[in-house]
Amino acid sequence: MFQYVRSVIFIIQMYISMPVVGLLFAPWAMFSRKGAYAACKTYSRYVFWTASWMVGLRCEVRGTVPQGEALIAAKHQSFLDIMMIFTALPAAKFIMKKEILMTPVIGQYARRLGCVAVDRGKRGAAIEKMVADVNAGRAEPGQLIIYSQGTRVPPGKKMPYKVGTAVLYEQLNQPCVPVATNVGVLWPKRGMLRKPGVAVVEFMPQIAPGMERNAFMKELETSVEDRSDALMVEAGFERDETS
């Protein structure tokens, strides 16, 4: 019960602080993308700091973080992995569902960062628009983050990897860096409880451009799923072998 109360207090202050940080950085962010990056990374680091002493949740980034242009294909389990991956990368932007652009504070900053919004309900058109928007944004180099399963996937659940990642991999002709995580064990997709422990995102060895589509998708899924499973066990997750 005590951990639950701590979690609720942590969540309340976390969401109160979001518009505060957004407003403080707004004058800088309006005129400079560096200001938008600074705001988002400042907020994320504040969340990491408060999580460490309020609920006993520590954040750790492992592996070699890419510094140049790359496609980042990540496992997505909760809001925490978004902040951890974004903060670790020097110039990140996300492929995201278009509804997020309507979200107060987050939507405005997502636009400023150059994130690519797609309509998930129109698969073919979404992929076309995604590729076109990415190509149009080549003047702003950086790391493009896509969640290959298209949504948050709770620990122990399986969902297919979507072809949009392979399309981008082919079109961009950049290395793809898989990212594994265990954050959903400690910071779940739903619910208020935040568990103590070490939340990890791990940047895996990159996949060089030029692989055949099916081979690429198989290597990506195997790399991310196997390592995420190991990280989740490390965080105390017990898989239900009957599921």
Q: In what order do the strands lie in the sheet with 176-181?
A: 57-63, 197-203, 176-181, 70-74, 143-147, 92-97, 116-118
Residues of the chain with pLDDT under 70: 120-131, 133-141, 240-243
Give CA–CA dist 98/117, Å, rounded: 5
> Which residues, 6 or more positions from 129, have their beta carbon under 8 angstroms from its beta carbon?
118, 119
Pairing status of strand 197-203 against strand 176-181: antiparallel
- Residue 243: the pLDDT is 45
Long-range contact list for 9-13, CB < 8 A, 24+ apart?
Answer: 9/54, 10/50, 10/51, 10/54, 10/55, 10/194, 11/192, 11/194, 13/50, 13/54
